[in-house]
Amino acid sequence: MLVAVFVAAGASLLGSFAILKRMALVGDALSHVALPGMALALIFKFDPFIGAIAFLLTAVTGIWVIEYRSSLSLETIVGVFFTASLAIGALIMPEHDLIEALFGNITELTLRESLASIALSIILIVSLLSIYKKLTLNMVSEEMAQSIGIKNRRLEFIYLLSFALGVALGIRFVGALLMGSLVIIPAASAKNISRSLHSFMSGSVVFGVIAAALGIYVSKTYSFPPGPIFILISSVIFLTTLFIRQAKKGL
């Protein structure tokens, strides 16, 4: 459960920036890229995390280069290539592992893996917090960011790298299909009820953590897979915040 909480905290923090940047769908599709990497890892018997992160790093580097070189819309490129990689992953993935890879299973982590996940999540959170001001400025106005000497390209690359790390961590928990939701839903919920950046970021993390803890608890008690449960709980939180937002508007 601790692992899930840390991973969810990191992922929701990532998500708050994905929402600010309005790249929610890009993030979702990006998480699919991990699948062929995991499949190769399973076939050649090395750690699926390594496979996932290798593919993700390649993909984010690709995104980063394409964003500045090509006139094609990023959404189009991501939509085509990354869903294709999901298809490839699904084909070459050993069948008995497929469901787990698609929908995740965090309960099977070894102690070493758990500790590594927690450590990496902490690194992710710390590095995001250390650049959040620059990142936010980059997202509200690239030009103003550049005008005060922020290196936008480098910053975006660091963000994409953290994104790759977050996805690789979360994929054990919720799987390749649902990973996008782990990142996006808590942040989207927090946005419904926040006016300030501070409450947005902390709200996102709090929602992610609550959904993760509750999700693991429920899935253990009733022996469901934790990923889908997590997503369902987050969705309930989202609907609740949406309701609160509408109610506030009505006043």
Partner 1 sequence: MKMLEVKNLNVELGGVKVLDDINFDVEKGEVLAIIGPNGAGKTILLKSLIGLIPFRGEVRWLKGVKTGYVPQRMDIETDVPLTVKEFFRLRGKLATDEKIKEALDFVQLDESILRAGLGEISIGQRQRVLVAWAVVGSPDVLLFDEPTADIDIAGQESIYKMLYHLQKNLGLTVILVSHDLNVVYRHTNTVLCLNRKNLCFGAPDKVLSTEQLLALYGGENAFFHHKHD
Site for partner 1, rule CB under 8 A: 20, 71, 133-134, 136-137, 140-141, 143-144, 146-148, 190-191, 194-200
CB 212 within 8 A of CB 4: yes
Shortest Å, Cβ 144 to partner 1: 6
Shortest Å, Cβ 19 to partner 1: 9
Shortest Å, Cβ 222 to partner 1: 35
Looking at beta carbons only, is 66 or 118 nearer to partner 1?
66
DSSP structure string for 140-181 = H-HHHHHHTT--HHHHHHHHHHHHHHHHHHHHHHHHHHHHHH
Shortest Å, Cβ 147 to partner 1: 4
Shortest Å, Cβ 142 to partner 1: 8
Sign of the dihedral through C-alpha 190, 52, 5, 228: positive
Looking at beta carbons only, is 29 or 190 nearer to partner 1?
190
Looking at beta carbons only, is 73 or 141 nearer to partner 1?
141
Looking at beta carbons only, is 164 or 188 nearer to partner 1?
188
CB 178 within 8 A of CB 228: yes
Token code pair at residue 197: 């950046």
Secondary structure class of 110 (helix, strand, coil): coil
CB 4 within 8 A of CB 172: no
Looking at beta carbons only, is 163 or 200 nearer to partner 1?
200
Angle at 10 between CA 224 and CA 117, to 5 degrees: 70
Distance CA 190, CA 201 (A): 8
Looking at beta carbons only, is 71 or 221 nearer to partner 1?
71
Shortest Å, Cβ 140 to partner 1: 5
